[in-house]
Structure 1
């Protein structure tokens, strides 16, 4: 069995109340890591998840506020984790702004700045600030893992896709640029770019199991229908798919992959 070396490690997940962030938090907790859940709006959700992940040992998870538009928030949240557990081993930056909905037929030149600025600027500055504060302690201890979750891939020609592409390119540039800076100190940094993912939604209550179809989806003769959620273009990437990739990249089992962007396209 592959030893991921995450037992007792300290992990900070930003955007921990979203579908990707919460799946990542659960995946790290399953490996025995202690997880700090950084949230912006959904305090009750974050605190409930902290209770769930702590289990009998109440000290294995806690919720902490984090705001993308507050320049002081990254410093404060990293300091809170280091004070609580004595250090930070892993940063998973999954928080992001979504921006206003663009009209489907709006031309690029007609898109107002209030639409694209959250998609672009808020993908860069918070990630840079949080990595700056997180990496300082990692370098001192000689070990660390950082994973940035980039905006999902939009179908080619999708309205607004160009702004998401700019945000992804910026994060990719950040991880490539930091390889030489922090690699010698035992810190690996990568990005994960999801394919189409299901939208954020509250989990199904335990006493109301999900409704299943009467029969499995059919496919043209000679072909097997894909398993899992789909879009008109094909299967989506599940949050659990992304979480598994994040766990590996941020584990001791990954001793060499750094400066890379892993794209989970959700295609078969």
Structure 2
């Protein structure tokens, strides 16, 4: 299927990680120009750019801070300056979460941690979408994909702030879809389940993690699916392929949806 992405300009926030980097490569393989942002890991973002360019594509890596409106505006302006606008926006960045972050009972969650998660996740999405909309409206075409998580559907102990902030994106998505459909702009959310990335592995029980050293992502997926059968683990490309379709011209009638890419979980 031709997704009609050749020559389109794509901005993927949080593009230096395993999932964001895979999205960048999938979009680039379809002929899109890809800008990806990073917060701290410039080297990882540069490695994704190098991979895209080796494949004959065009890519940019840009600094971006969810909690800084000026940083968001600088990143979106840089893409517009380089390529004339942003056709596809994938809001993938989430607040950084440290190993010492509190995950105890809900009544003991520090208010500042709660506020930081919701502020950066929700306001970061707000400012980023707001920055790209004038250009999309002027061109009469645009695709927005907000990255959520499947645990919004079931909740998770100790993750109340994270789940609440991702759930807020569902409401934003539905409202954007209603408001923008007359402008040729479609908005959707994607909710991945457990996916084999570097961020997942520290959460795997130590007795299982020890068996994963040196394995490929597909081999890790197979081991985890066997050892933790109540979950179904996906690969980054499982998610990235869905995002690319929703962000493409091939998608002409899906908007306001939350697409679960979670192996039925």
Q: Are the aligned partners of 1:152 and 1:164 in contact in 2 as well (CA < 8 Å)?
A: no
- Structure with bigger gyration radius: 1
Q: Which moved more, 1:255-264 or 1:228-237?
A: 228-237
Task: Show CA shifts across 1:202-235 (max 9, x none).
Answer: xxxxxxx9447xxx99xxxxxxxx9474373322
Task: Show CA shifts across 1:97-128 (max 9, x none).
Answer: 14455556x32111112332333222100101
- Per the TM alignment, residue 152 of structure 1 is displaced from its structure 2 partner at its CA by 5.0
Task: Show CA shifts across 1:178-213 (max 9, x none).
Answer: 123211111101111111223436xxxxxxx9447x
Alignment match, 1:248:
245
Question: What residue ranges of structure 2 are gaps of 5+ in the alignment?
Answer: 200-212
Aligned residues: 248
TM-score normalised over the length of structure 1: 0.83
Q: Are the aligned partners of 1:91 and 1:146 in contact in 2 as well (CA < 8 Å)?
A: yes
Q: Are the aligned partners of 1:81 and 1:87 in contact in 2 as well (CA < 8 Å)?
A: yes
- Per the TM alignment, residue 62 of structure 1 is displaced from its structure 2 partner at its CA by 1.3
Matching residue within 241, 256, 265 for 2:262:
265
Indicate the structure with greater helix content: 2
Q: Are the aligned partners of 1:39 and 1:66 in contact in 2 as well (CA < 8 Å)?
A: yes
- Per the TM alignment, residue 72 of structure 1 is displaced from its structure 2 partner at its CA by 1.0
3-state secondary structure, aligned to 2:69: coil
Paired with 2:41 and 2:149, the residues of 1 have a C-alpha distance of 20
Q: Which moved more, 1:148-157 or 1:109-118?
A: 148-157
Task: Show CA shifts across 1:34-91 (max 9, x none).
Answer: 101111111122112112202275x711111111111112211111001001111101
Q: Which moved more, 1:248-257 or 1:156-165?
A: 156-165
TM-score normalised over the length of structure 2: 0.84
Q: Are the aligned partners of 1:150 and 1:168 in contact in 2 as well (CA < 8 Å)?
A: yes
Alignment match, 1:221:
none
- Per the TM alignment, residue 157 of structure 1 is displaced from its structure 2 partner at its CA by 6.2
Matched, 1:138 2:148: no
Alignment match, 1:55:
54
Paired with 2:118 and 2:144, the residues of 1 have a C-alpha distance of 20
Q: Are the aligned partners of 2:19 and 2:197 in contact in 1 as well (CA < 8 Å)?
A: no
Give the direction of change, closer, same or farther, for the CA distance of 1:56–1:25 in structure 2 (3 Å limit): closer
Task: Show CA shifts across 1:11-30 (max 9, x none).
Answer: 01110111111110011011
Matches of residues 164-175 of structure 1 in structure 2 within 5 Å? Answer: 164-175=162-173
Alignment match, 1:181:
179
Q: Are the aligned partners of 1:39 and 1:46 in contact in 2 as well (CA < 8 Å)?
A: yes
- Per the TM alignment, residue 263 of structure 1 is displaced from its structure 2 partner at its CA by 1.3
3-state secondary structure, aligned to 2:34: strand
